[in-house]
Amino acid sequence: MSDLHLIGALPLWGVAVIALAVLALLVQHFIRLRQRLGLGQTAILTALRACVYGALIFFLLGPALIDKRVTKLRRPLTLLIDTSQSMSFPANAKSISGDKGAKSRLDLVKEKLEAGSQPLIQRLSRNYDLRVIRFGTGLEPIAPGSLDRLRAADPGTRLMELVQRAARDGAARSGIVLFSDGIANGEIKSLNGTALAAPVFAVGVGDTEGFTDLRIARLGAPEFAFRGREFKIELTVQAYGLKGKSVPLLFNRGKNLISTRSIAIDADPFEQKITLSFTPKDLGTHVFSVSLPAQPGEQIAQNNQKEFKVDVRRDKIRVLTLSGSPAWNYRFLRMAMKQDPLIELVSFVFLRTPTDTVDVPENQLSLIPFPIDDIFLEELKNFDLVLFDDFSYRAYFNPVYLERVRDFVRDGGGLAMFGGARAFDSGGYGDSALREVLPVELDGKGSYQARGPLQAALTAAGRKHPITRLLPDPKSNEETWAKLPPLTGMNQVHAVRGETLLTANDGAPLLAIGRYGKGRTLALMSDDAWRWNFIAVGNRETPQNHLKLIRQAVRWLAQEPAFEQVQLYPIPTAQPAEKVAIKLKVLNDDFTPARQASIQLRVISPEGEPTLISTSPDGEEGEYSGDFTPTREGTYQVEAEASAGGKALGRNKSSFSVAFSYGETDDGLPRPDLLKQIAEASKGEYLSIDDWNDKTFDKIAARLETIAPSEIVEQRQTRLWSNLWPFGVILILLSAEWWMRRKWGLI
Amino acid sequence: MNRRKFIQLCSQACIGAALSPGLANAAEPDDKRRLQFMFAQIKYRGGDWNPHPLSVTPLMEELMARTSVEAASARREVTLADNDLFNYPFLYLAGRYEFEPFTADEIETLRRFLTYGGFLLIDDALGQQGYGFDKSVRREMQRIFPGNEFKRLPPGHAALRSYYLLRRIGGVRIVNPNLEGINVGTATPVIYCQNDLGGAWERDQVGKWINTCTPGGEPQRKDAFHLGINVILYAMTENYKEDLIHVPFIRKRLTR
- pLDDT reported for residue B25: 39
Q: Give chain A's end-to-end CA distance (angstroms, integer).
A: 47
pLDDT at res. A711: 66
Nearest CB among A357, A399, A531 relative to B66 is that of A357
Decide if A330 and B10 are in contact by the 8 Å CB cutoff: no
Find, among B43, B134, B28, the residue nearest to B88 by Cα: B43
Distance between alpha carbon A244 and the CA centroid of its chain, in Å?
34
A356: nearest Cα among B75, B163, B38, B248: B163
The whole-angstrom distance between B56's CA and the closest CA on chain A is: 19
Count of residues for chain A?
A: 747
Decide the pairing of beta strands A317-323 and A343-349: parallel
- Radius of gyration of the CA atoms of chain B, in A: 19
Chain A residue numbers touching B83 (CB-CB < 8 A): 538
Cis preceding-peptide flag for A269 (omega within 30 of 0): yes
> CA nearest A165: which of A129, A141, A130?
A141
Buried b (16+ CB within 10 A) or exposed e, A316-332: bbbbbbbbbbbbbbbbb
Q: Which of B10, B37, B65 sits opposite A356 (nearest CB)?
A: B65
DSSP for A597-636 reads -EEEEEEE-TTS-EEEE--EE-SSTTEEEEEE---SSEEE
Contact between A689 and A205 under an 8 Å Cβ cutoff? The reply is yes
H, E, C per residue of A702-728:
HHHHHHCCCEEEEEEEEECCCCHHHHH
Q: Mean pLDDT per 10-residue run, chain A (747 residues)? A: 76 85 91 88 90 86 82 82 90 60 85 85 86 92 90 88 84 81 81 79 87 87 83 92 93 90 93 93 82 87 84 84 94 92 90 88 86 88 93 90 96 95 93 95 89 90 91 90 93 93 93 93 96 95 93 92 81 83 84 86 91 90 92 86 85 81 78 90 88 82 75 76 83 90 84
Rounded CA separation A251/A292 (Å): 9
Is A397 in contact with B246 (Cβ distance < 8 A)?
no
B1 pLDDT above the threshold of 70: no
Q: Is pLDDT larger for residue B241 or for residue A88?
A: A88
DSSP B161: T
Is the four-CA dihedral A42, A43, A45, A49 of positive or negative sign?
positive
The pLDDT of residue A341 is 82
**Cα within 13 Å of Cα(A114), Cβ side:** 13
Alpha carbon separation from A501 to A362, A375, A468 (Å, rounded) = 45, 31, 7
Tell me whether A397 touches chain B (CB under 8 Å): yes
pLDDT value, residue B26: 39
Per-residue CA distances from B182 to A201, A573, B189 (Å): 88, 56, 7
B185 — alpha (psi -120 to 50), left (phi > 0) or beta?
Answer: left
DSSP line for A510-523 = EEEEEEETTEEEEE
| H-only helix segments in A431-560 | 460-464, 474-483, 531-538, 544-557
A631 touching B, CB under 8 A? no
- Tell me the residues of chain A between 283 and 322 that have a Cβ less than 8 Å away from chain B: none
Q: Strand A231-240 and strand A270-278: pairing?
A: antiparallel
The residue that leads in pLDDT, B32 or A133, is: A133
For A366, the 3-state DSSP assignment is: coil
* β-strand partners of A636: A656
Which candidate, A57, A65, A51, A49, places its Cα nearest to that of A12?
A: A57
In whole angstroms, what is the distance from residue A392 CA to residue A454 CA? 24
Task: Look at residue B255 and give its three-state secondary structure.
Answer: coil
Task: To the nearest 10°, report the CA torsion of B29, B31, B33, B38.
Answer: 100
The burial of A86, by beta-carbon neighbours within 10 Å (0-12 exposed, 13-18 middle, 19 or more buried), is given as: buried
What's the pLDDT score for residue B164? 95
Nearest chain A Cα distance for residue B35, angstroms: 9
Strand partners, A440: A496
Residue A646: Cβ within 10 Å count: 6
Angle at A373 between CA A372 and CA A376, to 5 degrees: 80
Contact B212, B220 (CB under 8 A): no
Q: Which chain A residues are closer than 8 Å to B164 by Cβ? A: 360, 364-366
Q: State residue A309 phi and psi, 5-degree precision.
A: -120, 145
Closest chain B residue by Cα to residue A531:
B87
Q: Do A332 and B117 touch (CB under 8 A)?
A: yes
Kindly report the length of chain B: 256
Q: Which of B4, B14, B234 to mutate to test the interface with A (most CBs of A within 10 A)?
A: B14
Q: A363 and B256: CB-CB below 8 Å?
A: yes
Chain B hits for A395, CB-CB cut-off 8 Å, are: 14-15, 18-19, 22
Q: How confident is the model at residue B18 (pLDDT cuts 50, 70, 90)?
A: very low
Of B70, B87, B162, Cβ closest to residue A535: B87
Burial of A361 (0-12, 13-18, 19+ CB in 10 A): exposed
Contacting A residues, span 370-389, partner chain B, CB-CB under 8 Å: 372-373
| C-alpha count within 13 angstroms, C-beta hemisphere, residue A406 | 13
Residues facing residue A260 across a β-bridge: A250
- Give B-chain residues touching A372 at CB under 8 angstroms: 7, 11
Q: Dmax of chain B from CA atoms?
A: 68
Closest in A328, A450, A540 to B34, CB measured: A450
CB-CB neighbors (< 8 A) of A398 in chain B: 7, 10-11, 14
Whether B253 sits inside 8 A of A364 (CB atoms) is yes
Region for A651 from its dihedrals, namely left if φ exceeds 0, alpha if ψ lies in -120 to 50, beta otherwise: beta
Spatial contact of A519 and A409, defined as CB atoms under 8 Å apart:
yes
Q: Give the tens place of pLDDT for each residue, B45-79.
A: 999 999 999 999 999 999 999 999 999 999 999 99
ipTM of the complex: 0.88
Nearest CA to A575 out of A628, A631, A626 is that of: A631
Closest-CA residue to A186 (of A135, A150, A140) = A135
A30 C-beta neighbours (distance < 10 Å), count: 17
Nearest Cα of chain A lies from the Cα of B247 at a distance, in angstroms, of 9
In three-state secondary structure terms, B164 is strand
Which residues lie below 8 Å from residue A745, measured CB to CB, with a gap of 6+?
none
Q: Which among B17, B164, B237 has the least Cβ separation from residue A360?
A: B164
* A616 phi, psi to nearest 5 deg: -140, 155
Count CB-CB contacts under 10 A for residue A65: 13
Contact (Cβ atoms closer than 8 angstroms) between residue B213 and residue B171? yes
The SS3 assignment for A266 reads coil
Interface test with A, best of B68, B90, B168, B227 (most A CBs within 10 A): B68
Per the CB < 8 A criterion, the answer to whether A670 and A206 are in contact is: yes
Strand, coil or helix: A71: strand
C-alpha–C-alpha distance, residues A499 and A513, integer Å: 5
Q: What pLDDT is attached to residue B15?
A: 30
The three-state secondary structure class of A166 is: helix
CA dist., res. A207 & res. A240, Å (int): 12
- How far is A730 from A732, CA to CA, in rounded Å? 5
Partner-chain residue, chosen from A331, A352, A539, that has the shortest CB–CB distance to B68: A352
Instruction: Decide: pTM greater than 0.90.
Output: no
In the sheet that A270-278 helps form, which strands lie side by side, from edge to edge?
A213-220, A231-240, A270-278
Strand partners, A389: A323, A418
Closest CA of chain A from B130, distance in Å:
32
Separation CA A643–CA A594 (nearest Å): 9
**A420: distance to nearest CA of chain B, Å?**
8
- By C-alpha distance, which of B185, B213, B188 is closest to B198? B213
- What's the CA gap between A465 and B153, in Å, rounded? 45
CB A592 within 8 A of CB A567: no
Give yes or no for residue B21 having a pLDDT over 60: no
Residue B244 has pLDDT above 80, yes or no: no
Q: Which residues of B touch A542 (CB under 8 A)?
A: none
Nearest-by-Cβ selection for A534 from B89, B161, B165: B89
Peptide bond preceding B215: is omega within 30 degrees of 0, i.e. cis?
Answer: yes
